[in-house]
A and B are shown apart, each in its own frame.
Chain A
């Protein structure tokens, strides 16, 4: 129901391009969802009840302060028989903020591959500046990730509702969310430092960077700082980081590290390869008994 204060609350429309609905579902996990929604006048969302229907929204007559877009942009795609380009033109022009949620909306992501010649993100096609909203790029905030972390969207929508400025990186991602690397806060950091690899999958011991394909030291995101579902992360549960917040996601051969002279081909961000090689040699010369065996010898006592 609309109350008088509705007029003071920013209106929000959530539209979808080529998607799996994963960002929509991720958002529903936000612990303070009710409080956040109370700050907005939700006109349309793919799952949550809202004040307009999609049929009304596609007539391009509704107001829109914040436009959330999920999924890759496909110039041929229609929503309720109206081209995405028309919807983005209309609501993009009017919105004060446009949020691309997920890597598809940011860079093309997983569903760039559905139509590689056509599909892209809103203002980037992978890392190239290109996309339907390029002219409006100053209003666009990208929340890359496959899917977006609920707290990243919660942060962005709260900042907007509170009229606070959001500083972004060159890929238009909020600095407060994407300045860290996924590697920061991983429970395997000690193994990374001393270059001790995980001997196999399914172990809590060892770092996944050397063999299992972990991209966390090259990937901007806060997955190990703001945990997923409040409890864990990929690397904590033994899955390598796939670099899903970066423009080149999805890469090939995701569970395997490409190596050169048994050193990962891609080294941690900002570290010169030669120095990395040297430091690896030194670190490996240590034999740290604590890191060589099981952390808990008999595992758990059952």
Chain B
């Protein structure tokens, strides 16, 4: 624990840290690779759409000794040529899906099944599903997704800035692509539960991103008034300092979902709970990844195209070169020199964060810091 705490502290102070921004090209590459794989999977393999999207009937039986194979034979006979998919449930019951049958047919099949399997027909649960139902759900989902994206981009653009809004949007699309891609590749069945789970990722995937952005926004206040760090440096520090938070929130969010997925699903076989939790699980993991490796580096990338930030970067690099030159002669002096113009700037970017670069002199910084920072609130 204390080790973790120490790591947290080091991350917070920037003593250790992974250079997310510097290595962003690698991660972009990874993401592009994943995305291409996902798209390939989607086009080549396609999604294994559940019966809700294709239409048909689902019969669920209580515990029975009839084997799945036998039930499949019976069901296919009853359905008169339609294929039946039979799964054994964790409860010992059977789940029989038959695509492409209608109301009248389903009643008849239910009766037949009841005779064949020796189960009273009122104990057999019949779900009749028209394809349009799944279509409706899916269409509404797309519609909801589109509306949400527009609103959230507007909101983030106001609360933060447009670059962050765009980066968040890209990260969100990225998450959804990955999730859908995994579904295509693994061949998990897509049910309305999956769609629900996918939609939930909307809000959740952005949660982590927003936490990092919030920290980034805070730390880059007054960034132009200092010449110590470039925007990327600070962005990197933001990621690192919120890393523990991101990991914790993700772990804590994943635990109940994992509970639903592995325990709930494991005991009881497929069902809506399982469908929702599976897509949530995949989506949440993707969301955590994208907030760290994609969203923030993207913001930094976009931001550094801004002339002001470009100018800042130039200044910073120039200063660093100068400092490096000076440092050979008089290392401490240069640091204190910064301190002088530090007061105006925010304390955070100034003193809190040696992103692993440049000379550090903590005591000195601390002294310089307390007073000026008081201005803020």
Q: Do A and B come from one complex?
A: no
The chain B residues found within 8 Å of chain A, CB to CB, are none
